Structure formats: structure tokens, C-alpha cells
Chain A
Amino acid sequence: MRISKAAAAAAVAVLALTACGGGSDSDDTGAAAVNDDATFEAGTTMETLQKAGKITIGTKFDQPGFGLKGLSDAPEGFDVEIAKIIAAGLGIDDDGITWVETPSAVRETKIEDGEVSLVAATYTINDERKKRITFAGPYYEAGQQIMVRSDDSAITGPDSFKENSALKVCSVAGSTPADNIGEYLASKSQLVTFDVYSKCADALRTKQVDAVTTDNVILLGLVGDSDGAFKVVGDTFTKEPYGIGIKKGDVAFCNYIVDTLKKASEDGSYEKAWTETAGKVEGAQTPTLPTADACA
């Protein structure tokens, strides 16, 4: 008994030590300096948030490289860093941010209900969504690509699916990539959907499907984890401009975000946000800030 207790204590100590080691890494990821002396016009969203000194931000908790929540309290990723830059410009530091998980299906609703001030969650700007919310950005432009098994040479791009209707492709149910790939299929039954990409990768490994499709950044992460079992083929065939979702019609807030992103791109904090998160994946190219859409 005595020995096993000692062993347990030692194990706990080791765990505690490793936990501390992991924690200290995240201290130096803050990309932007907190702007304490910014002034905003009275009555704007910025002024309200600045006065409150805190902000609620929606992001994804299951998107490696963009918004991923592990055992630590706060999520990590490019979306998260971009949101921190926006908050920092309002004089709000990391402690003042409350993170809320916003999976794809509830993003518009959470913005409309005022539950979050903004959503940064691999949020593709499109016209359907613009009917309900306003997008600031884009801050990044992803593109959809195809991932196959390394020994597969039958699929060269999205058009391969129309030529051979026996080929199956997997994506996440309800995602924009799942919607987009529909145009390239000979029949609807070629599309297989799951709730997460890890299940698609598993189905690809066991040959249940012949390809996985989604935004290039996510695929690079999956290829990186596959020990050479998967590869990405063909060029990107869509443009997925990621924007920050805010309440519909809040033009002043939108302009503020666009300006803040521009500044971040000039002072290097945009690039730093990338290289410390999604940019760590092998083969990922550092983006330049895309030209922002007009705020409406």
C-alpha cells in the first residue's frame, strides 16, 4: 500500500510538473499590445465594450490551427489570435475575454441574440449569411482542396468525381465544403458526411471513402497527422474568405475591425498570429491580409 501511494504521489507530481511546463508556453503568444488609451465615439459598440473592459467572443473549439480548446481554459489558434488583436485594440486584455463555443449551426443565432459581440470561427463570408449578420474582413482566404490516400493516383482534382461515379468523398455535415463539392459530383450518393473531420480521415484510411474535402488548412493538419498515409492533390477550387461575424448593420464596429486588421498586418502582429498557430503546420504558407470588403 505504502509503495503504491508513493508511486501515485510521484505520478501526480510529474503530471503537475508537465502541466506547468505546458502552461508557460502560452504566455508569450499574445500577438498584440493592449491599447489602453484608445478613444471611441460615444454610443458605439467599441465604446461600450471599452467601458465594460470585457468582451464575449465566439469561436470553434474543435478546429486545429484556428480554434482548438484543449485542457487549458482558453482556446488556441489563428481565429483566436485575430480575435485577441481586435479585443486588444479596444483596451481589453486576454483576461477580459470570455470564449463561447460557436459551432457552425449556431453562429448567426448567437450573434443575433447578442450572446457574443463577435464570432471568429473559420466563418466563410457568403450571401445567405450576410442576410442575417454583417461580416468584417476577410482576414484570411482559404480554399477547398482534396485529400486522398498516398498510393491513390485515380483522383487528380474535384472533376474526377464526375468522371467516375463509384468514387466517394467525405466532408463534415452542414459545412460549406460539403455544399460546394455537390456541384462536382455525378450523384448525391457519392457524398458521405460526418460530424468531424477525424471520422472522415478514418473512413479514408479504411477505404470506405476515396477522398476527403475541406479547406486546405484543415487538410494540411490531417496530412501532418497521418504519417504519410494521405496526400493533398490538385489546386484549391473555391475561395473561402473568412470574416468576423458581428451584429447586422453595425458599420462602425465593422470599420473598426477592418482598420485594426490593417494595422495588425502593418506592424507584423497579423503574421505573428499566423506563424504561432496555423502556420506551424508543415507546408502552410504565410498569408497576406486580403483586401477588406466594404462594410454594410
Chain B
Amino acid sequence: MSVITNNFDLFFQGFLKTLGICIICLFGSLALGTVIAGFRVSPVAPLRGVGTLYVNVVRNCPLTVVLFLIAFGLPEIGINQSYYVFGCASLIIYTAAFVCEALRSGINAIPAGQAEAARAIGLTFSQNLGSVILPQAFRTAIPPVGSVIIAMFKNSAILGAFGVSGDLLSNAIMLTSSRGQDPTPVYLSIGFFFLLITIPAGLLLMYLERKAVILR
């Protein structure tokens, strides 16, 4: 246990950094995922094509491959950003594909009559999507979107192996290798700090679901 008490500052800093990454990527992937979902249900065929291509390419690529392509591919063509930016961008791009599909399941659950009625009273596609479809879709899609977001929180650990330093995982690697600490208590604590992020997130999602659920 002394491993944790002696190095609590390292764990805590790592926790804050990981939490920061999670929050940035939460908003980023929800925003991007919503836009792509809009593309996928759009009446404009090329936009639908872009959305479908995005989801099928990104969703079928392992996250490490996406990270590798962004962190090592972009500098090759002269785009230089910090690995923190590259890491967050990769996680957002990757998660957005899953958010999009979860959201689309929510959209599909809405009776077609609603969209038709909205069209009949003269709403444009974007008004229809923004005021009628998406608000209901979000409420219906809370459980699947929630699972995607929790998976994203856990995936954020991979950034520590891709140039990002100071997060929970890279601090754990430092403790176990250069400082020679026993890996078991170190990684158990890393797991505990991840639970500190994921369990409250899960409880919040349950609360939101109870509040927002639409019974059909």
C-alpha cells in the first residue's frame, strides 16, 4: 500500500490529466458523432455517402491504428501538433463513429409519422432534425451512447502509450519500470482511479435515462 501513499501526487496528477482527456473527448465525440449521424440520415445522397464511408472505415479500424496514422502520418505530411492534441483528436474521431451509430438507432426508433408531420407543417430538414428528431433520438439513445462513452473513457488509457505523458497509464509505467515498484498494487490503483471516472459516469447515465426515457 505504501506504493500508493508515497506516490499519491503522481496518481492524482495522472487522474486529473486522464479526466481532462475524457472530458474533452466526451464533448468532442458527441458533437462530431451527432454531425455524422445527421449526414447518415440526410436526404442529400453525397452527404449520406460521406457519413456511411466514415462510419465503416473508422469503426472497423483498431484504435491503435487510428492513433498511429494520426500521430505518425500527419507529421509526415507537415502537420505538427502536440501528441496530446493528436491523441485527443484520434479518440474523438474513433468514438464519434460509434456515437453516430448509437444515435442512428435512436433516430430509427422514432415513428416515421413524426418526421412526415414535421415536413407537412413546413419545417426544413435541419429544423426537422434539430427540433423534432434529434431531441427524441438522444433520449432514446442514452443507454447505447452511454456504453460508447464509458468505453471511450477506458480507451483513453492508450494515449499514454502514444506520446502523451503524465496521464494515469504513463505514470504507472514510470513507477513500475524506472522506479522499480511492484506492478500489482500500481495497476490495481490505476484500475481504482478509472473506476472513479467510470462509475459516477454510469450512475449519471442511469439518472439521465430515468429522467428522459420515452415509453413507446
Q: Which residues of A contact B (CB under 8 A)?
A: 103-109, 126, 128-129, 131-132, 168, 170, 173-176, 178-179, 188-189, 191-195, 199, 202-203, 206-208
A192 to B72, CA, bound (A): 13
Q: A25 CB to closest chain B CB, in angstroms?
A: 33
A61 to B182, CA, bound (A): 22
Contact of B173 among A126, A174, A192, A202 (CB under 8 A): A174
A103 to B173, CA, bound (A): 11
Which of B28-36, B47-55, B107-115, B159-167 contacts the other chain? B159-167
User: Is the CB–CB distance between B177 and A207 below 8 Å?
Assistant: no
A65 to B211, CA, bound (A): 63
Residues of A within 8 A of B80 (CB): 206-208
In the complex, whether B75 has a CB less than 8 A from a CB of chain A is yes
User: Is the CB–CB distance between B165 and A191 below 8 Å?
Assistant: yes
User: Is the CB–CB distance between B163 and A193 below 8 Å?
Assistant: yes
Residues of B within 8 A of A104 (CB): 176-178
Residues of B within 8 A of A202 (CB): 72
User: Is the CB–CB distance between B180 and A129 below 8 Å?
Assistant: yes
User: Is the CB–CB distance between A174 and B75 below 8 Å?
Assistant: no
Q: B61 CB to closest chain A CB, in angstroms?
A: 19
**Chain B: CB-nearest residue to A133:** B180
In the complex, whether B216 has a CB less than 8 A from a CB of chain A is no
Q: Which residues of B contact A (CB under 8 A)?
A: 72, 75-76, 80, 82-84, 160-166, 170, 173-183
A188 to B170, CA, bound (A): 13
**Chain A: CB-nearest residue to B13:** A188
Q: B154 CB to closest chain A CB, in angstroms?
A: 19
Contact of A188 among B72, B161, B165 (CB under 8 A): B165
Residues of A within 8 A of B182 (CB): 108-109, 132
Are A193 and B170 CB-contacts (below 8 A) given A202-B72, A208-B80? yes
17 A-B interface contacts by CB (under 8 A): A105-B173, A108-B182, A128-B181, A132-B182, A170-B163, A173-B173, A173-B174, A173-B177, A174-B173, A175-B177, A175-B178, A176-B178, A178-B174, A188-B166, A189-B166, A194-B162, A202-B72
**Chain B: CB-nearest residue to A108:** B180
Contact of A179 among B84, B161, B174, B176 (CB under 8 A): B174
**Chain A: CB-nearest residue to B174:** A174
Contact of B179 among A179, A195, A207 (CB under 8 A): A179
User: Is the CB–CB distance between A206 and B183 below 8 Å?
Assistant: no
Are A189 and B72 CB-contacts (below 8 A) given A109-B183, A126-B180, A173-B174? no
User: Is the CB–CB distance between B83 and A206 below 8 Å?
Assistant: no
A48 to B175, CA, bound (A): 34
A109 to B176, CA, bound (A): 10
A177 to B76, CA, bound (A): 27
Residues of B within 8 A of A109 (CB): 182-183
Interface centre among A103, A106, A173, A195 (most CB of B within 10 A): A173
User: Is the CB–CB distance between A206 and B177 below 8 Å?
Assistant: no
User: Is the CB–CB distance between A192 and B178 below 8 Å?
Assistant: no
User: Is the CB–CB distance between A128 and B179 below 8 Å?
Assistant: yes
User: Is the CB–CB distance between B82 and A189 below 8 Å?
Assistant: yes
A40 to B174, CA, bound (A): 39
A202 to B161, CA, bound (A): 15
User: Is the CB–CB distance between A128 and B180 below 8 Å?
Assistant: yes
Residues of A within 8 A of B177 (CB): 103-105, 173-175
Residues of B within 8 A of A126 (CB): 180
User: Is the CB–CB distance between A192 and B83 below 8 Å?
Assistant: yes
Residues of A within 8 A of B181 (CB): 128
Residues of A within 8 A of B165 (CB): 173, 178, 188-189, 191-193
User: Is the CB–CB distance between B180 and A208 below 8 Å?
Assistant: no
A103 to B75, CA, bound (A): 29
Are A194 and B161 CB-contacts (below 8 A) given A106-B183, A175-B178, A207-B80? yes
User: Is the CB–CB distance between A174 and B83 below 8 Å?
Assistant: no
A191 to B83, CA, bound (A): 10
User: Is the CB–CB distance between B178 and A178 below 8 Å?
Assistant: yes
Q: B90 CB to closest chain A CB, in angstroms?
A: 14
Residues of A within 8 A of B160 (CB): 173
Residues of B within 8 A of A105 (CB): 173, 176-177, 183
A109 to B174, CA, bound (A): 15
19 additional contacts (CB under 8 A) given A179-B178, A207-B80: A105-B173, A106-B183, A108-B182, A126-B180, A128-B181, A131-B180, A132-B180, A168-B82, A170-B163, A173-B173, A174-B174, A174-B176, A176-B178, A178-B178, A189-B165, A192-B163, A193-B163, A193-B173, A208-B163
Residues of A within 8 A of B84 (CB): 189
Q: A58 CB to closest chain B CB, in angstroms?
A: 14
Q: A128 CB to closest chain B CB, in angstroms?
A: 5
A107 to B176, CA, bound (A): 10
